Chain A
C-alpha cells in the first residue's frame, strides 16, 4: 500500500504569510496527487488535482507542485478563510489514501 506523510502536522501562521505544506509518498505516484481543504464540520473541498492543476473556482494563491514521491502545496498569501486542515491524497491506486493532514492555525 502507498503511504503518505505530511509535514508539518501543524502550522501556526498569520494572514498574509506564504506557507508550504509537503506531502511525501512511500513510492512513486507520478502526478497522481490531489490536495483538499477541510474546515470544521464541513466536507473536504478539492483544491488541486494532478499535483498542480487548480480546481475550478479555487483562488490562484493556491498552487501545487511535485511528482514522483515529493509534492508541495503553497498558499502565496494566507487569507482569513484559509485557516483549515489540508490533506493530500494519492490517486495512483484504487485505495486513494489520504495523508494525515496539516492544520493551519492563526498565530
Chain B
C-alpha cells in the first residue's frame, strides 16, 4: 500500500522550532517530487514548500521563506520540514504530498497530516 505518514507535530512556543517528518512506503520515493501543504484551522490549503526528487530544486512560499527548510533523505524514504522562528499564524495541520509527474503535477498521495500549534 502506498502511504505517507507525517510525524513531529505538537505544541511550540512563538519563536520556537519543530521538525516534521514524512515517511513514505509502498512507492519509489526517490522518483518523486514532494510538497508540504498546510491548512490553518477552518481555512483553505496553502502550499508552503516544494522539493524535487534529487533535492536540486527547492521552493518556498513567501509566508515561510527564511524560516522553514525542506529536505529529504531518499535512502530513508523520508521528507522533512525544519520550522524555525515559529509564529502563531503557523498553527495548522501540515500535510506532505506526492507530486505526480504523470498527472501534470497533481498531488495524488497525501499523508494524514500532523497538527502544529504555536502558542505561549
Chain A residues close to B by CB (< 8 Å):
31-32, 34, 36, 38, 43-46, 49-50, 53, 55, 87, 89, 91, 94-101
Main secondary structure of the interface of B (DSSP, over half): strand
Report chain A residues within 8 Å CB of B107. 34, 36, 44, 46, 89, 96
Contacts of B97-120 to chain A: CB distance below 8 A: 99-100, 103-108, 110-113
- Please determine whether B44 and A32 come into contact, CB atoms closer than 8 angstroms: no
Q: How far is the CA of A44 from the CA of B110 in the complex (A)?
A: 7
Q: Total A-B pairs in contact (CB under 8 Å)?
A: 65
Contact sample, A vs B, 8 pairs, CB 8 Å cutoff: A34-B106, A43-B112, A50-B103, A53-B103, A55-B108, A89-B107, A94-B57, A95-B47
Number of chain B residues whose Cβ lies closer than 8 Å to a Cβ of chain A: 22
Chain B residues close to A by CB (< 8 Å):
35, 44-47, 50, 57, 59, 61, 95, 99-100, 103-108, 110-113
- Please determine whether A32 and B113 come into contact, CB atoms closer than 8 angstroms: no
Report chain B residues within 8 Å CB of A97. 47
Question: How many Å from the CB of B113 to the closest CB on chain A?
Answer: 6
- Please determine whether B105 and A98 come into contact, CB atoms closer than 8 angstroms: no
